[in-house]
Amino acid sequence: MNRLYHVPLSPFCRYVRLVMAEKKLEVELLEERYWERRSEFLRRNPAGKVPVLAMNGFTLADSVAICEYLEETHPEPPLMPKKIPERAEARRLVMWFADKFHLEVTANLLYERVNKKITGRGHPDSANVKAGAKHIKYHLDYMGWLLDHRRWLSGDRMTLADFIAAAHLSSLDYIRDVDWNRQPSVKDWYAKIKSRPAFRSILADQVSGFPQPPHYADLDF
Amino acid sequence: MNRLYHVPLSPFCRYVRLVMAEKKLEVELLEERYWERRSEFLRRNPAGKVPVLAMNGFTLADSVAICEYLEETHPEPPLMPKKIPERAEARRLVMWFADKFHLEVTANLLYERVNKKITGRGHPDSANVKAGAKHIKYHLDYMGWLLDHRRWLSGDRMTLADFIAAAHLSSLDYIRDVDWNRQPSVKDWYAKIKSRPAFRSILADQVSGFPQPPHYADLDF
């Protein structure tokens, strides 16, 4: 059985969960309090971070590396384009969310509001929350611009870029930090991806101390 | 002609330069003051960052996406393993440097000492420099551990992981922030990769206001 060491609201863990579900790969989810730095966990991933995937006798770390691995070992349904320049565009956007969106938005909102509390590191820093709330507007606008020109974020087909973007937005949606009225094309795109069976596990997540808001699992949000 | 928008000490630009040189791809280097946010540059990369590569009629952004593109379009010499699990290990380490090493070390040392001055954002924050100086020790030790067990960082063959690691260390070496005596296996590894013809352009870099230290370009450092 495949095993994923994760935390429920981590967008990077959700990225792996979504891609595995889309590819119909079963996985046992094991919650890992990575901030406690268990020595057995650190042996699996010296970076000390989730997600870590135990699969086919290998231990895989880093969500970007894991999802490329899943795509190479389980190419159906394809979540990367066939043409090389289109693959570069999908990867550019994967890295956009793994790097820029993560640092400008997710770290400022989710990590301040949720991770600090869960890991016992005090209260949210309001300057960071304010910066995150400002940045998410620009990111939603950029996604809106892309989706006004393309069916999916990186082109005509759904790719890994859509799943990493949806993973980040789903975690932020859980704490009510996404203004779905800002960009109609982003809302339409999220409604499409949220309706996929692959999303079910994520919509069922419940995090102690952070009750799920009513719209979160509603497909007509 | 391929054109790379870059800044000389950016480890991510150096990563692309090294990989292109290793694959014998010529490229014209254009220095881009990305912090001035030229509108033409922002059109090429809305992330507002270097490197950006104009190649084969496409504009490519993000060093991780660019190097995967170079590997797919110019597979010789191969810088990714053939076997899928080994590819996952190479990508895990690429992301280690793109993410963890970058945030814990490069941002605290290079960006504090050099980028702040060049972009007119004041003096280095000594707490950050101290944190970077502490973190680089752990990273060198981890690299040392890997290189005590493997010929190259991700296994028996040189991969993209070696080039992104060498790119980061070369930028830090330019500002004398690498203690080469800490881990003999890391020094041996760096001596091997530094001697490659692909490294020549990077060893010739001169940055105004930051004179090149004598050991930097010396192959017997």
Spell out the SS3 assignment of chain B: CCEEEECCCCHHHHHHHHHHHHCCCCCEEEECCHHHCCHHHHHHCCCCCCCEEEECCEEEECHHHHHHHHHHHCCCCCCCCCCHHHHHHHHHHHHHHHHHHHHHHHHHHHHHHHHHHHCCCCCCCHHHHHHHHHHHHHHHHHHHHHHHHCCECCECCCCHHHHHHHHHHHHHHHCCCCCCCCCHHHHHHHHHHHCCHHHHHHHCCCECCECCCCCCCCCCC
Please enumerate in sequence order all residues whose Cβ is within 8 A of that of B90, keeping only pairs 6 or more positions apart, or say none: B80, B81, B154, B155, B159, B160, B161
The answer to whether residue B178 sits within a structural domain is: yes
Q: What is the pLDDT of residue B155?
A: 98
On whether any CB of chain B is under 8 Å from the CB of A210, the answer is no
In CATH, what number is assigned to the domain containing residue A176? 1.20.1050.10
Nearest to A71 by CA among A41, A97, A94: A94
- Give the three-class secondary structure for A6: strand
- CB contact under 8 Å between B99 and A98, yes or no, is yes
One DSSP character per residue, A28-73 reads: EEEE--GGG--HHHHHH-TT--S-EEEETTEEEE-HHHHHHHHHHH
Q: Between A49, A85, A100, which is nearest B47 by CB?
A: A100
* Chain B residue numbers touching A46 (CB-CB < 8 A): 142
- At B67, the pLDDT band (50, 70, 90 cuts) reads very high
Mean pLDDT in residue range B82-102: 98
The answer to whether residue A147 sits within a structural domain is: yes
- Give the three-class secondary structure for A78: coil
Structure tokens at A107: 């770290």
Strand partners, B59: B54
Mean pLDDT in residue range B24-49: 97
- At B190, the pLDDT band (50, 70, 90 cuts) reads very high
Closest residue in chain B to residue A73, using alpha carbons only = B84
On whether any CB of chain B is under 8 Å from the CB of A83, the answer is no
Q: Taking the model in full, what pTM does it have?
A: 0.98
- At B92, the pLDDT band (50, 70, 90 cuts) reads very high
ipTM here:
0.97
Q: What is the pLDDT of residue A62?
A: 98
The answer to whether residue A145 sits within a structural domain is: yes
Which element (helix H / strand E) includes A5?
strand A3-6
Question: Which residues of chain A from 20 to 39 reach within 8 Å of chain B, CB to CB?
Answer: none
On whether any CB of chain B is under 8 Å from the CB of A99, the answer is yes
The answer to whether residue A41 sits within a structural domain is: no
Mutate to test the interface with A, among B84, B92, B139 (most CBs of A within 10 A): B92
- Give the three-class secondary structure for A115: helix
Closest residue in chain B to residue A69, using alpha carbons only = B88
- Give the three-class secondary structure for A155: strand
What are the pLDDT digits (tens) for A81-140?
999 999 999 999 999 999 999 999 999 999 999 999 999 999 999 999 999 999 999 999
The answer to whether residue A209 sits within a structural domain is: no
The answer to whether residue B186 sits within a structural domain is: yes
Q: What is the pLDDT of residue B136?
A: 98
Nearest to B170 by CA among B21, B5, B62: B21
- CB contact under 8 Å between A96 and B62, yes or no, is yes
- Give the three-class secondary structure for A121: coil
Q: What is the pLDDT of residue A155?
A: 98
What's the number of domains chain B is made of? 1
What are the pLDDT digits (tens) for A178-195?
999 999 999 999 999 999
The answer to whether residue A91 sits within a structural domain is: yes
Domain coverage including residue A90: 84-196
Rounded to the nearest 5 degrees, what angle is found at the Cα of B155, between the Cα atoms of B202 and B145?
A: 85
The answer to whether residue A72 sits within a structural domain is: no
Mutate to test the interface with B, among A12, A59, A62 (most CBs of B within 10 A): A62
Give the C-alpha separation, B98 to A164, whole Å.
17
